Structure 1
């Protein structure tokens, strides 16, 4: 299927590795020009070089913290009129609710809700004026299945979810869509971090921790990053203009709810 995004420009926040990198890979393969972002210069440079070599599209690297005003300005300087935006960021450290400080709540709300919304605020008018826009946020399965260990994950992200849903109703008439992807248990560094946490808490080996994680997934395996990237690419496609305001679970069939 031709996704109709060849020549489109994309800013992908936090895309030098992990699921963000997989998203960049999938749309670059479809011919989109991409801005790769991350805080680690080596990771960004590696991703830029590999994407250029593999797909022959324009790839720009921006080493910046996208949760800051300076970082957002740097990204928009590299691509002032993006057609596609990926909202992404580092997941918060798991912690029990009764251990969380006011500062932890404030910091996480800034990173996971306020900063992404400020970026949307900057790009949305131009997308509406040009008559094309695709905004996709990487959220978390915890948004629909909260866990007491992950309050910092699902709390601020639910705020982001609500605002994006409201905005989606207002801009879809301009062929601008806003959707979220809700991943669970993809084979990335985040799951290695979660396995190491389980090792420390339970006194088990890495292999045992990984097996426990896989046992929670109905598919019987961790998700592959490229599967996630291809779902992102479809949401960005010209064919997905009637799909907006949705929160798509990517969890190997593990969500227990109906809706």
Structure 2
């Protein structure tokens, strides 16, 4: 399939490892110009150097000024952004009954407001050019809230509502807006959540992972590359009639339709 991504300019935050890095690699393999951004500047620059047409930018995505600085750097590197990937780290685990005002505000800032700010900066150009893709990395918790991840559930649900509303507003301009929901993808983030669960329950990390894998119909954790392939399709030209969707990549973990 011809993806139509050759020469497109892509911005991928949270791209130093895991899902973000896999997405950057997948889009670069399709001939896109990719800007990788993450707090670990040395690492993200090293990863960008391994790709054909990419630059790495060290930036703390939680800083209030990060969206404008990142958008400016992306335009300086390759030109106007055609494909925006909304991705970043998640808040710490915790129960809903223990959420404080400050924690809730931090989660909303990290998982909702910063993504809205970044989208607002690149969206006008997409609409003017009549082509654009916004693909958000969400969580299966958007559709089936995850236990002990109250802050993630709060922030990502808000982002889902924003994106669904936005998709209807910009579809006529050739811009699609979608969200891909990972289940248990084998990343450092999931590893840290497993470690926290093991400590909380008194089981070993190996027992915790085995129990988690047993709950997945596919019987295993997903690979970042498998998730990135879904994102790459949604970013492509042939996906022009797919918008406003939440697409799960979770090995069947969420049992609803």
Aligned to 1:46: 46
CA distance in 2, matches of 1:191, 1:92: 12
Aligned to 1:71: 66
What is the Cα deviation at residue 108 of structure 1? 0.7
Query: Gaps spanning 5+ residues in structure 2: where?
Result: none
Contact 1:10 1:32 in 2 (8 A): yes
Give 3-state SS (helix, strand or coil) of 1:79's partner. helix
CA distance in 1, matches of 2:187, 2:157: 23
CA distance in 2, matches of 1:74, 1:162: 26
Contact 1:62 1:74 in 2 (8 A): no
Aligned to 2:192: 193
Moved over 3 A (4+): none
What is the Cα deviation at residue 74 of structure 1? 2.4
**Aligned residue runs from structure 1 range 40-189, under 5 A:** 40-51=40-51, 56=52, 58-80=53-75, 81-189=80-188
Give 3-state SS (helix, strand or coil) of 1:195's partner. helix
| TM-score, with structure 2 as normaliser | 0.95
Aligned to 2:24: 24
What is the Cα deviation at residue 85 of structure 1? 0.4
1:161-187, Cα deviation, whole Å (9 max, x unpaired)? 111111111111111000000101001
CA distance in 2, matches of 1:219, 1:79: 38
RMSD: 1.1
Query: Gaps spanning 5+ residues in structure 1: where?
Result: none
Contact 1:83 1:132 in 2 (8 A): yes
